[in-house]
Amino acid sequence: MRRVAQVIRVKPEKLAEYVELHRAVPEPVLDRLRRSNIANYSIHLLGNELFSYFEYHGEDLDADLAAIAADEATQAWWRLTDPCQEPVPEARPGEWWASMDQVFLME
């Protein structure tokens, strides 16, 4: 299992919309995540920073992420959520959600 943590900003004027959207994530979007070996997925908010965490239980994260990106239901979902977000300054070129490095783990 691989732990993945990421961060992005939510636009202050879009915060309420973003939170409301996540009260009812479409089941096809959740199903695609599950079929792509993603579990224990959560998003947390502090100020205007969104922190996501998920556990990946597959063998090829890049391929599974590509399957998510190719999914029509997910693309429709992203058309709703993406306008609410903006990358953090630390994001690499082309990176939307910036990957975070793990510095501590207690199991």
Domain ranges of the chain: 2-99
Q: What is the pLDDT of residue 101?
A: 95
- How many CA atoms, within 13 angstroms, populate the side-chain half-sphere of residue 74? 16
Low pLDDT (below 70) residues in the chain? none
User: What is the β-pairing status of strands 85-86 and 49-56?
Assistant: unpaired
Which amino acid is residue 101, in one-letter code? D
Query: What SS3 class is residue 85?
Result: strand
Give this prediction's pTM.
0.92
Q: Which two tokens stand for residue 52?
A: 């996501």
How far apart are alpha carbons 94 and 107 in whole angstroms? 33
Other C-beta atoms closer than 10 Å to the C-beta of 84 total 20
Task: Just give the CATH number of 2-99.
Answer: 3.30.70.100
Phi, psi of 100 (to 5 degrees): -110, 150
Q: What is the pLDDT of residue 45?
A: 98
Supply the pLDDT for residue 34: 98
